[in-house]
Amino acid sequence: MAEFTMDLNDDQKQVRDWIHGFAADVIRPAAAEWDEREETPWPVIQEAAKVGIYSLDFYAQQFFDPTGLGIPMAMEELFWGDAGIALSIVGTGLAAIGVVANGTEEQIGTWIPQMYGTPDDVKVAAFCSSEPDAGSDVGAMRTRAVYDQATDEWVLNGTKTWATNGGIANVHIVVAVVDPELGTKGHASFIVPPGTRGLSQGQKFKKHGIRASHTAEVVLEDVRIPGSCLLGGKEKLDERLARAHERAKAGGGERVKNAAMATFEASRPAVGAMAVGTARAAYEVALDYAKTRTQFGRPIIDNQGVAFQLADMRTSIDAARLLVWRASWMAVAGKPFTSAEGSMSKLFASETAKKVTAQAVQILGGNGFTREYPVERMHRDSAIYTIFEGTSEIQRLVIARTLSGMPIR
């Protein structure tokens, strides 16, 4: 287990500088165009694939960094470039991680390459979990998967929403209910191969921010997929469901719920790192502007009202990064989140991004309110961080219940 440190080693610095260079040279110059177009930035994704950033190997290398800082470092730099384009680049990773974490070796080898495609023919994948009536309350999920033993097929029906790359993906990973009696423990994940009949894109959302990232509903109408597309296989699922039923009879259901919540806790620092990247980008624009913009014969940073705002912005960004790094290190070191440190990092970083980007707009004044300057876009983008991967209200609930010892539902 690596000791916690705030000093990046030489390899990490090299990777950080490489990602930062790509964000500065490729992502940031394209940000305004794709935000206006509200379309998936395929040329940028292709460039990311050519240099090796858009690939499972890249994310695996960062994920297995023994310090735990590989993923948050990468996320911060990419989202420093632009949140919408960065989410288009990393969105496939959500589905890929689902396969790697739960799939068999054969499933990983078969489907991961089809999620990414090749640098000359890039593909994307979608992870479909949220539903119109089941966002924070995953126990309310209604999408059903029923096994047809006669044909060895699973039949999926339901509607997913807020799916990144939903409908345009080559491969969709769909979470569905297989045993309603077990609540969240009765869920399973399925691979929907390219061109499967019955899967269609529903509404494509016109969003306030992260507009370069495709977000849509996914409609499943009698979608039939081979039995081999159940992640992990049916034997493993049957064993898991049987254990869950035994635990429920023994009164262990609450412990199972908390174990599931721990999985979400471990993933939230990555979202916090995204928020840190956006906040840092807005702060840097505001700082440069304050040093060069003159009013009443002097740079506006000479005014205490502006200078103190910048001081608070930088302090909050550094504090958010430290919370993210601490939680990321704890996750890889196997240390329990006894105070919901994962939720803490996501909560503070996301709220920091909203506040810092708003302050950046204020420092730029009228210019900050126009699309001629990027802080307007960054401010819009920052709103998503307090919503996805658990709203700020859910984070506070998780933290409060963890501290009090109350069950997390």
**What is the distance between the alpha carbons of residues 335 and 337, in angstroms, rounded to a whole number?**
7
| Cβ neighbours, 10 Å, residue 24 | 13
How many whole angstroms separate alpha carbon 385 and alpha carbon 358? Answer: 14
Number of neighbours of residue 333 by Cβ within 10 angstroms: 14
Contact 257, 407 (CB under 8 A): yes
Q: Which of 211, 210, 264 is nearest to 390 (CA)?
A: 264
Which two structure tokens, joined as six digits, stand for 223?
A: 């979608």
The amino acid that residue 82 corresponds to is D
Check if 389 is active-site: yes
Geometric angle at alpha carbon 154, from 174 and 253, rounded to 5°: 65
Closest CA to 219 of 174, 170, 152: 174
Q: Does residue 390 sit in helix, strand or coil?
A: coil
Rounded Cα distance between 281 and 20, Å, is 12
CB 15: neighbour CB atoms within 10 A? 20
Q: Which residues neighbour 102 within 8 Å (Cβ) at sequence distance 6 or greater? A: 189, 231, 232
- Please state the φ and ψ torsions of residue 171, each to the nearest 5 degrees: -130, 135
Cα–Cα–Cα angle for 99, 239, 135, nearest 5°? Answer: 50
Catalytic residue (one of 77, 106, 389, 393): 389
Handedness of CA 400, 402, 403, 405 (dihedral sign): positive
Q: Are 374 and 288 in contact (CB under 8 A)?
A: no
- 211 Cα distance to chain centroid: 15
What single letter denotes the amino acid at residue 194? P
Q: 87, 48 in Cβ contact below 8 A?
A: no
Contact 223, 198 (CB under 8 A): yes
Helices and strands: H and E segment counts in the chain: 13, 11
Strand, coil or helix: 366 = coil
Catalogue the active-site residues: 389
